[in-house]
Structure 1
Amino acid sequence: KHVARTERLGAMGALGSFGGMFDLSSLHLKEPVLVSGTDGVGTKLLLAIEADKHDTIGIDCVAMCVNDILAQGAEPLFFLDYIATGKTDPVKMEQIVKGVADGCEQAGAALIGGETAEMPDMYGAEDYDLAGFTVGAVEKQKLITEGAVREGDTLIGIPSSGIHSNGYSLVRKIFFKDNELTLDAEISELDVPLVEELLKPTRIYVKPVLEVLKEVDVHGITHVTGGGFVE
């Protein structure tokens, strides 16, 4: 049911086939350039596991991938996920996939496949890892690269929804090791418990940015994540 919510023009076949399929001709692009991206959510997963809250971490996974290819001006077309765990828990898996589907809906990408691997020799019974892969497309003449950026360009920053999915090893050190806080801690500067703030899903910028690209000649986009402004 979650996968069905992500259907879009071009997606072909049923989930469960050996390969996911997409009809590129449905986009009617003259010179299509495919742009791909893959990522995970890092140690933010440890907080989701500890809090036993798994229904938004999939949004983070999608966001980290689609926001990357958006930096080239690409519209995400489809997404595949990979879940590795020590023991398959159907309820937990459903929550994870729900989050992935929510993220795909926000990005306009079809969830066309994935893999769930149960590896008890690699992971504890409650542990899992989550990664994703996306492919998007853009007209060749509209492809965004760093080569067009020049002195005098206007720099516009779009706010994040929170910490997103980078730097959580440092975040966990500051809150839980250095300051000995717990996940349910109440901090006066926050409107919600600490766990809710830290598990806020990464914002997916795809739809609003694609609308801007239709109207504005954008010279460059950076998805500020692990490499910061340097990358």
Structure 2
Amino acid sequence: MPNIMSSTNNVSLSYRDAGVDMVAGDALVEAIKPYAKRTMREGVMAGIGGFGAMFEIGKKYKEPVLVSGTDGVGTKLKLAFHLNRHDTVGIDLVAMSVNDILVQGAEPLFFLDYFACGKLDVPSATDVIKGIAFGCEQAGCALIGGETAEMPSMYPDGEYDLAGFAVGAVEKSKIIDGSKIAPGDVILGLASSGIHSNGFSLVRKIIEVSKPDLNSDFHGRSLADALMAPTRIYVKPLLALMASMEVKGMAHITGGGLVENVPRVLGDKLTAVLHKDAWVMPPLFTWLQQHGGVADAEMHRVFNCGIGMVVIVSQDNADAALAQLTAAGETVTRIGEIRAREGDEAQTIVV
């Protein structure tokens, strides 16, 4: 009977020979445990390391509805690879999902990440997951688990991909679905921290064409710093606002910009009128528009143009909402209003 354990060429192969370093994977798990531990919150029943992560929904909810979201960081990662900066893309990853579920009134409870690479580099991977943990701290949710996949030949050396998954909860009676938005309501815009994590294929094309010095000074910081600024996480101030007054609708300004995201919370018979002179477009967007020759309409469709989150409240609550969010550290501007839609006009009009 042949020895099935023998190699025909007398070579003894291991998983490491195939390109998977299990020791490095174990080292990464140990490196990130302290950062994940800082995100723990009430409800977590098991930490990192098990086959499944467990979370108990507390008794604060009478009729809890789970709200989930998933996203990535997109081609912003390509710029991170070029700059060898890995400490903020994890914040972007968390922000994209928690801001999405927030707009339906959900409090983020826990987050899981998926990190995939060709060859695991423990220091850079640790930087990424430290960023994820920091983002979870900002959002008040637990980094409860994740997956690190080392897949030789799937990704070029030094590159990786990220995906994130957030789960939150909202009282059934307090779900925000935009159904209460009415003509006369006020649209508030919360400032973005920069480009966030959308439109980077166009950003990279503009960089390719204009060939700027990414280390040059750009309004007090390097252009690279401005481009890589992590996505702002709006969770805590907006949860506090929802607790103090009725918020009729919110829109996270991601891919599609203002013109395509605001309509997602509007009924068919409503139009959002945005006044572009109500806020000053940050210098970074002006730089992108000038160096790329990007039309106004394309800017509004691709980028957040300085507004990362839209909040819709009644006229009576507008001043109080603006004051509360400003006191919480947000830069807030009254950028428009809701009116009845005329015919088949666009649901977001920038004037």
Same fold (TM over 0.5): yes
Corresponding residue for 1:211?
Answer: 240
Q: Distance in 1 between matches of 2:113 and 2:200?
A: 21
Q: Secondary structure at the match of 1:2?
A: helix
Q: Which shifted more, 101-110 or 147-156?
A: 147-156
42, 62, 68: which one pairs with 1:30?
62
| Amino acid across the alignment from 2:178 | E
Corresponding residue for 1:68?
Answer: 100
157, 178, 181: which one pairs with 2:209?
178
What CA deviation, in whole Å up to 9, does each residue of 1:200-230 have, x standing for no partner? 1100000000000011111100001102232
Tell me by how many angstroms 1:51 deviates: 1.0
Contact 1:75 1:137 in 2 (8 A): yes
Corresponding residue for 2:220?
Answer: 191
Corresponding residue for 2:256?
Answer: 227
Corresponding residue for 2:15?
Answer: none
Tell me by how many angstroms 1:15 deviates: 0.7
Gaps of 5+ in 2: 1-33, 262-351
Aligned CA distance change for structure 1 residues 45 and 27 (closer, same or farther; 3 Å)? farther
Tell me by how many angstroms 1:146 deviates: 2.2
Corresponding residue for 1:93?
Answer: 125
Corresponding residue for 2:48?
Answer: 15
| Amino acid across the alignment from 1:2 | Y
Q: Secondary structure at the match of 1:123?
A: coil
Contact 1:10 1:27 in 2 (8 A): no
| Amino acid across the alignment from 1:126 | G
Q: Distance in 2 between matches of 1:107 and 1:170?
A: 29
Corresponding residue for 2:17?
Answer: none
Q: Distance in 1 between matches of 2:117 and 2:214?
A: 23
| Amino acid across the alignment from 2:217 | E
Corresponding residue for 2:81?
Answer: 49
Q: Distance in 2 between matches of 1:185 and 1:165?
A: 22
| Amino acid across the alignment from 1:218 | V
What CA deviation, in whole Å up to 9, does each residue of 1:92-119 have, x standing for no partner? 1111110000000000000011001111
What CA deviation, in whole Å up to 9, does each residue of 1:49-100 have, x standing for no partner? 1111111110000000000000101000000000011110111111111000
Contact 1:76 1:134 in 2 (8 A): yes
Q: % of aligned pairs identical?
A: 57
Gaps of 5+ in 1: none
Q: Does 1:141 align with 2:170?
A: no
Q: What TM-score, normalized to structure 1?
A: 0.95
Q: Does 1:84 align with 2:116?
A: yes
What CA deviation, in whole Å up to 9, does each residue of 1:102-160 have, x standing for no partner? 00000000001100111122101201001100000010111000222111111111000
Tell me by how many angstroms 1:7 deviates: 0.3
Q: Distance in 1 between matches of 2:253 and 2:204?
A: 20
| Amino acid across the alignment from 1:103 | G
